[in-house]
Amino acid sequence: MEYKAVSVRELLTQMKNLSELMIDLAYSAVMFEDRQLAEEVVKLEQRVNEMSYQLLLHAAMAARGRWEAELASGVSQIAIAADRISNAAADIAKTVLLGIPVSPAVKRALRRSEETVAMAKVEEGSKLVGKTLDELSLETKIGVDVMAVRREGRLFIDPKGDFALMPGDRVIIRGSYSGVEEFKSLAMGGLEDEDSREGV
């Protein structure tokens, strides 16, 4: 693994975002018994490990005196903590890959959390079809975040704003219960009066 010239701030931001995403995807893999999602979590663990290595190298190279050493120590602790989070997420995902059954009570408990995770299929007549995530502004309008999209065997993790939804897409979303239910209705072609609410 070689050293790459990336800023500490950028690495910390990427590690934070990735570790948060991994936890949500790992729980999604368990809830939906989705092996492909679980495999993606394990792949993301490797990316976080690489970022952690880069951060530790930054810390070592910056430690020229006591003040720098103390600062480097703090960065190192953050890297180690993020690494542990990603490892824990991967361990959760591996229960799916190993075929370890999860109690229905555990799945019910996950669904009762303040934010829920769900999967919805985009139907042919849905007004979501052909629109990008930027155009839909789902997080702003209904409080839902798109974590991943499965399309014809491919899995798109954390899709960007220019990603357009298509018929047949299975969208993994995270948000409040009401927001998730609204998205499901939109995906099925419901909420016919949506245009009147500056919405989707």
Q: What is the pLDDT of residues 127-137, one digit of tens each?
A: 999 999 999 99
Tell me, what's the pLDDT at 196? 42
Whether the domain at 8-97 and the domain at 114-197 fall into the same CATH topology: no
Flag the least confident range among 28-37, 72-81, 93-102. 72-81
Structure tokens at 189: 């072609």
In the chain, where the domains are located: 8-97, 114-197
Average pLDDT over residues 92-108: 88
Contacts of 9 (CB under 8 A, 6+ apart): none
Given a cut of 50, whether residue 14 has pLDDT beyond it is yes
Which residues lie across from 184 on neighbouring strands? none
**pLDDT at position 115, please?**
76
Quick one: pLDDT at residue 5? 60
Fold (CATH) for 114-197: Alpha-Beta Plaits (3.30.70)
Residue 119 has pLDDT above 70, yes or no: yes
pLDDT for res 4: 60
- Report the range of poorest mean pLDDT among 13-27, 80-94, 108-122, 124-138: 108-122
* DSSP state string for 60-125: HHH-SSHHHHHHHHHHHHHHHHHHHHHHHHHHHHHHHHTT----HHHHHHHHTSSSEEEEEEPPTT
pTM score, two decimals? 0.69
Residue 112 pLDDT more than 90?
A: no
Confidence of residue 193 (pLDDT cuts 50, 70, 90): very low
Q: Is the pLDDT of residue 19 over 90?
A: no
Coil/strand/helix, residue 6: coil
- What pLDDT shows up at residue 32? 83
Please tell me the predicted confidence (pLDDT) of residue 53: 85
Q: Are 184 and 178 in contact (CB under 8 A)?
A: no
Locus of tokens 């999604």: 28
pLDDT value, residue 82: 85
Fold of 8-97: Methane Monooxygenase Hydroxylase; Chain G, domain 1 (1.20.58)
Q: How confident is the model at residue 71 (pLDDT cuts 50, 70, 90)?
A: low
